[in-house]
DNA sequence: CCGAAAAGTACACAGTGCTTACAACGGCGC
DNA sequence: GCGCCGTTGTAAGCACTGTGTACTTTTCGG
């Protein structure tokens, strides 16, 4: 890699974040070492600690970025107060939401685990203090989307929180499996995603085959 | 703890496994160190390597134990070839299966992550080579249980693998959430488990409210 | 009872996170 | 232009880790 470019004084913080992000993408984040990072960036190991109190702080920054990333994607699908106008739009959004969540896990394997796995637990709680992240969370999007189904006339009864929880949970499971175990190809994954969303909807009382 | 009892020569291997198992239960398995273990067991750090090639080997042993444990629990619910005799038995088994899986995750937090999380990935693949573990896996149990629903007359059509996969996936999600994020009390968890299984069945076409 | 195999010890090496004392850089007022 | 001073980076060191090697002790079968 072209890490040979001597980085300017003051750029280390961003460089470290990029480095960790890169490591995350390549999947070896849990064995990343600050010393090696410093070496790769052509800087002394102590310099790192000018910018991050400890290793966890750097990882936390990565987790934070991940949560902002996923938040943005979810927000793009169902912005705050933007109720679906038609039935087909409501359904389409459900599929896009499921696909987004599952694909995020599939593509961001290592980051996903820092965000939702046990290791990043304290990170997550810390990161989630951020008021901006607490305002309209992915779970909120999921909830509103489910209520949209009712608003738009696809669900007769008003949904409950249990409906939302189940959808979230089932999608989470599909995401976790898509990423962890079965190294399935994209085609297969596409099918799984579709199937998952269809059944999620069925589980809250919306049978897509009957409309 | 009463580790003061000097352990007899030759007992180190079992003692190490117990130690790691204990650490797993207390939840700090990922920071467990072999040196500290050796110290706690009153033995030199090199001695460990007489019994385990490296740290991963010890952890792998723990994962193996975990998989045998969960396998046993599943097997108790639906032994090989033991088709459910009645409708209510088939349904009851479904609930017991879901409860077992989710509670296992809830109670064995750290172990769960070694078994299904990203960190223990190579461990899992290695462990799963064991022919005994491959014979009638938890997933197999889930499959047979789903087919039992058909055999017993609760499902009109013969289930597909997609039906099984979804049930597995949705239950997995509930298990992962039960353990990772929401520190819910037991009562709440009970409800979630029930709700999850009911909806899983609904998603494969079995509405418990209509029988 | 004795000698070989198994179990445990002592020590060393390289790598890690992190701290502390120091050096260099750069923007500020004068 | 110049000195000041806070920010950034360096060098060296501590305590810890996993792991290898050479040694000693224990145990047990012939």
List, as one string, the DSSP characters of A120-173: THHHHHHHTT-HHHHHS-HHHHHHHHHHHHHHTTS-SSPP-HHHHHHHHHHHHH
Q: What is the pTM of this model?
A: 0.93
* Inter-chain Cβ pairs, chain A and chain B, closer than 8 A: 95
Chain D bases near protein CB atoms (7 A cut-off): 7-13, 16-22, 26-27
Pick the more confident residue, A180 or B161: B161
A196 interaction partners in chain B (CB closer than 8 Å): 166, 169
Residue closest to C19 C1′ by Cα? A46
User: Which residues 6+ apart lie within 8 Å of B1 measured at CB?
Assistant: none
User: Which residues 6+ apart lie within 8 Å of A208 measured at CB?
Assistant: A91, A198, A201, A202
Question: Which residue in the block uniquely carries the two structure tokens 């007359």?
Answer: B153
State the pLDDT at residue B181.
62
Confidence of residue B177 (pLDDT cuts 50, 70, 90): very high
- Least trusted range by pLDDT, from B28-32, B179-183, B194-198: B179-183
Distance A7 CA to C29 C1' (A): 30
- For residue A188, say whether its CB is under 7 Å from any atom of strand D: no
Distance A61 CA to C14 C1' (A): 29
> Would you say residue A39 has pLDDT above 70?
yes
What CA dihedral angle connects B31, B35, B38 and B44, to 10 degrees?
180
| pLDDT tens for each residue of B138-156 | 999 999 999 999 999 999 9
Instruction: Note whether B115 and B63 are within 8 A (CB).
Output: yes
Q: Which nucleotide lies closest to A31 by the C1' atom and the CA atom?
A: C16
A4-23 residues near strand C (Cβ < 7 Å): 9
Query: Which of A121, A146, A176 should we substitute to test contact with B (largest number of B Cβ atoms within 10 Å)?
Result: A176
How far is the C-alpha of B23 from the C-alpha of B16, rounded, in Å? 10
Residue closest to C8 C1′ by Cα? B47
- For residue A44, say whether its CB is under 7 Å from any atom of strand C: no
């Amino acid at each position: 890699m072209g890490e040979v470019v001597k980085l300017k004084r003051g750029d280390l913080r961003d460089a470290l974040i990029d480095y960790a992000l890169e490591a995350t993408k390549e999947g070896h984040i849990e064995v990343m070492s600050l010393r090696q990072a410093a070496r790769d960036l052509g800087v002394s190991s102590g310099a790192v600690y000018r910018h991050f109190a400890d290793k966890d702080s750097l990882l936390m920054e990565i987790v934070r970025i991940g949560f902002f990333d996923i938040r943005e994607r979810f927000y793009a699908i169902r912005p705050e107060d933007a109720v679906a106008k038609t039935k087909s739009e409501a359904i389409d959004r459900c599929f896009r939401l499921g696909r987004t969540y599952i694909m995020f896990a599939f593509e961001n394997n290592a980051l996903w685990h820092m965000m939702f796995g046990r290791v990043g637990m304290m990170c997550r709680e810390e990161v989630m203090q951020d008021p901006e992240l607490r305002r309209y969370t992915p779970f909120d999007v999921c909830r509103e989307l489910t209520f949209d189904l009712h608003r738009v006339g696809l669900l007769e009864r008003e949904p409950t929180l249990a409906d939302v929880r189940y959808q979230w949970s089932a999608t989470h499971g599909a995401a976790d499996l898509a990423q962890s175990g079965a190294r399935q190809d994209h085609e297969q994954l596409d099918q799984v995603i579709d199937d998952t969303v269809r059944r999620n909807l069925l589980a809250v009382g919306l049978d897509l085959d009957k409309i």
